[in-house]
Chain A
Amino acid sequence: MTDDHVYLTLAQGDHEAEARWAYGTGFADPLLGVDTALAPDVDGADLSRYCLMLGDDALVLAQRLIEWCTHAPELEEEVALANLGLDLLGQARMLLTRAGQADGSGRTEDDFAYWRGEHEFHNVRLVEVENGDFAHSIARLLLFATARLALYTEVAERAPDQVLRAVAARGAKELAYHQEYAAGWLLRLGDGTAYSAERMQAGLDAVWPLLDELFTAHEAELRLGLDPAELREPVLTELTALIERATLTVPQLPPLARVGGRAGREGVHTEALGRLLAELQAVAREHPGATW
């Protein structure tokens, strides 16, 4: 029917359409043509650790975003939140895969995601705490996306590994959207009703103490020539501007204490991560050796 042609064009677009049945199965592969050999001056163990740090951040936050599915405040937001989750999941898969290549173990993304205990996860505590209400989730996303966008922008330029640079370059484009999404809601909730402003401020206050960990360097990343502490000032400046524009107050709260000097990067987490992983890993662990 001629009156259907537009939709057919959209749905069938091109020959790649067949591959478009799920994210990450038919889109331009950011690693296409990228040499996976390690550069000679890079320590594989350090690179692997760094990929796990970034990959675990993405995986754990993706799992939290997935928990929103069927609970979002509006159907349009269901679609948006799923997009964010899919982006982060895609980043996690590439980073965990790279970790297994870099350390020479050949471990797969699933080996890392499903068969490590909570002490072996290297994500920051910010991404693992429970979702709370929509404002709390938005506050967390804002902090993470702003800091991660700044980080990926650096990593895409300066990381001593071309796979990591390619992942970060692709990830930066995605994170820019995540940041816009979060900043958009920050503004609408902060400058919306009195009630929403209260919730948004409470959300910011709750996650703010977890921000500092994103700027606390782990020795592995320092050895790779990347220091997240350099991002502290520019990210804080950006967050301050966004929060003030939303007519809210930048929290004046100290960073959450570490445990014996250790925190998420060293595998010392909040109680929330163990429960999150118990759920994430349950089916896989019920069937050791199975292929899915």
Chain B
Amino acid sequence: MSDTSWPLYEVFVRPRRGLNHVHVGSLHAPDDRKALLAARDLYTRRNEGVSLWVVPSSAITASTPDERDPFFEPSGDKVYRHPTFYDIPEDVPHI
């Protein structure tokens, strides 16, 4: 990760009154306020939603998907595990 990249935030939208906020995705922002503005611009471009929450991804504590899963060590209890590098073949023709 370069020095200038911004932290990851998770975005939650209340699609309309009477419904819960629902996780819709994530974005990068330098701070909370910018995250909220960016979430408005990105995830409610077509007026979908009456309320937004943004949460730093690092603040989320998650359960493991399955109690009998002993192999999920690398992720610790964070939802997102980054940066981890995976070898990606570079010579595959992508169309």
Contact = CB atoms under 8 A, between A and B. Distances in A.
B34 A83 contact: no
Given A17-B46, A20-B47, A76-B28, A9 B37 contact: no
A20 B15 CA distance: 16
A259 interface: no
Contacts of A79: 38, 41-42, 45
With most chain A CB atoms within 10 A of its CB, the pick from B34, B46, B49 is B46
A26 to B, nearest CB: 9
Nearest to B23: A6
B39 to A, nearest CB: 9
Nearest to B25: A7
B33 interface: yes
Q: Chain A binding site: helix, strand, loop or mixed by DSSP?
A: helix
A181 interface: yes
Nearest to A17: B46
Interface in B32-61: 33-34, 37-38, 41-42, 45-49
Given A6-B22, A10-B24, A184-B34, A74 B6 contact: yes
Contacts of A76: 27-29, 34, 38, 41-42
Given A13-B48, A76-B28, A180 B13 contact: no
A42 to B, nearest CB: 34
B15 A10 contact: yes
A188 interface: yes
Contacts, number: 47
A34 interface: no
Contact of B48 (A11, A27, A180, A181): A11
B30 interface: yes
Contacts of B49: 10
A74 B34 CA distance: 12
A242 B25 CA distance: 33
B30 A20 contact: no
A215 to B, nearest CB: 29
A20 B37 CA distance: 21
Given A10-B48, A10-B49, A11-B48, A80 B30 contact: no
Interface residues of A, number: 18
A27 B41 CA distance: 16
B40 to A, nearest CB: 8
B23 to A, nearest CB: 8
Contacts of B29: 76
A183 to B, nearest CB: 11
Interface in A163-199: 180-181, 184, 188
A6 B23 CA distance: 9
B28 A74 contact: yes
Contacts of A181: 37
Contact of B47 (A9, A27, A184): A27
Contacts of B42: 76, 79
Interface of A: 6-7, 9-11, 13, 17, 20, 27, 74, 76, 79-80, 83, 180-181, 184, 188
Interface of B: 6, 13, 15-16, 19, 22-24, 27-30, 33-34, 37-38, 41-42, 45-49
13 contacts: A6-B22, A6-B23, A7-B24, A9-B15, A10-B13, A10-B24, A10-B48, A20-B46, A20-B47, A74-B6, A76-B28, A184-B37, A188-B34
4 smallest CB-CB distances across A and B, nearest first, come from: A76-B38, A10-B48, A20-B46, A79-B41
